[in-house]
Amino acid sequence: MNRSTPKLALLLFVLLVFVMLACQTLAPTPAPSTATTIPSTPPTEQATEAAIDLPPDPLAGTDGMGDSLYPDFGNGGYDTLTYTLDITINNVDTSELEATTTIEAIATQDLSRFNLDFAGFEITSLTVNEEAAEFERNGQELTVIPAQALSKDETFTVAVSYQGVPTPMTSQALPFPTGWIAYDGGIFVLSEPDGSASFYPVNDHPLDKATYTMIVTAPKPYEVAANGVLAETKDNGESTTYTFTVRDPMASYLTTININDFNIETMESDGGIPIRNYYAASLPDDINKPFARQGEMIDYFSELFGPYPFEVYGALVMDTEFGAALENQTMSIFGIDMVDLEDIEGSEAVVAHELAHQWFGDSVSVADWGDIWLNEGFASYSEGLWVEYDYGKDGLDEWVTAVYNEVKEYPDFYPPPGDPAANDLFNGGVYLRGGLTLHALRLEVGDDAFFEIIQTYYDRYKFGNATTENFIQIAEEVSGEDLGDFFDAWLFDEQLPPMP
| Per-residue pLDDT tens digits for 70-114 | 999 999 999 999 999 999 999 999 999 999 999 999 999 999 999
Please tell me the predicted confidence (pLDDT) of residue 11: 43
- Among 1-10, 241-250, 338-347, 353-362, the range scoring the smallest mean pLDDT is 1-10
Q: What percent of the chain has pLDDT over 90?
A: 85
Mean pLDDT computed over every residue of the chain: 90
The predicted structure's pLDDT at residue 35: 28
Q: What is residue 34's DSSP assignment?
A: -
Structure-model confidence comparison of residues 13 and 61, the more confident one:
61
Residue 166 has pLDDT above 80, yes or no: yes
Query: Is the pLDDT at 64 greater than 80, yes or no?
Result: yes
Model confidence at 51, in pLDDT bands (50, 70, 90)? Answer: low
pLDDT in tens, 265-284: 999 999 999 999 999 999 99
If we measure between CA atoms, which residue out of 62, 151, 158, 58 comes closest to residue 107? 151
- Per DSSP, the three-state class of 318 is strand
Q: Per-residue pLDDT tens for 240-257?
A: 999 999 999 999 999 999
pLDDT at 22 over 70: no
Q: 70's torsion region: left (phi>0), alpha (psi -120 to 50) or beta? A: beta
* Cβ 253 vs Cβ 191: under 8 Å: yes
For residue 82, the cross-strand partners are 104, 211
Q: Is residue 389's pLDDT more than 70?
A: yes
pLDDT tops 50 at residue 43:
no
CA neighbor of 121 nearest in space, from 150, 100, 107, 93: 100
Task: Look at residue 53 in the predicted model and tell me its pLDDT.
Answer: 58
Task: Report the pLDDT value the prediction gives residue 77, as an integer from 0 to 100.
Answer: 98
The residue type of 284 is P
> Sheet holding 262-268: strands in order across?
262-268, 274-280, 315-318, 332-335, 325-326
Per-residue pLDDT tens for 142-162?
999 999 999 999 999 999 999
Q: How far apart are CA 191 and CA 464, in angstroms?
A: 19
> Tell me, what DSSP letter sits at residue 498?
P
Examine the pLDDT at 454 and tell me if it is beyond 80.
yes
What is the rounded (10 degree) CA torsion for 377, 382, 388, 389? 170
- DSSP letter, residue 431: I
Instruction: Please give the average per-residue pLDDT across 254-263, as a whole number.
Output: 98
- Count of residues for the chain? 500
For the residues 296-307, what does the mean pLDDT come to? Answer: 98
What's the pLDDT score for residue 264? 98
Quick one: CA dihedral 190, 95, 259, 84, positive or negative? positive
Q: What's the pLDDT band for 55 if we cut at 50, 70, 90? A: low
What is the three-class DSSP state of 117? strand
- The predicted structure's pLDDT at residue 8: 41
- What local confidence, expressed as pLDDT, does residue 20 receive? 44
| pLDDT confidence bin for 52, thresholds 50/70/90 | low
- 298 pLDDT exceeds 80? yes
Whether residue 99 contacts residue 85, with contact meaning beta carbons closer than 8 Å, is answered with yes
Q: What is the pLDDT of residue 34?
A: 26
More confident residue, 2 or 135: 135
Please say if the pLDDT value at position 16 is more than 60.
Answer: no
pTM of this structure = 0.91
pLDDT of residue 76: 97
Largest CA distance in the chain: 74
Residue 206 has pLDDT above 70, yes or no: yes
For residue 368, give the 3-state DSSP assignment. coil
Residue 413 per-residue DSSP state? T
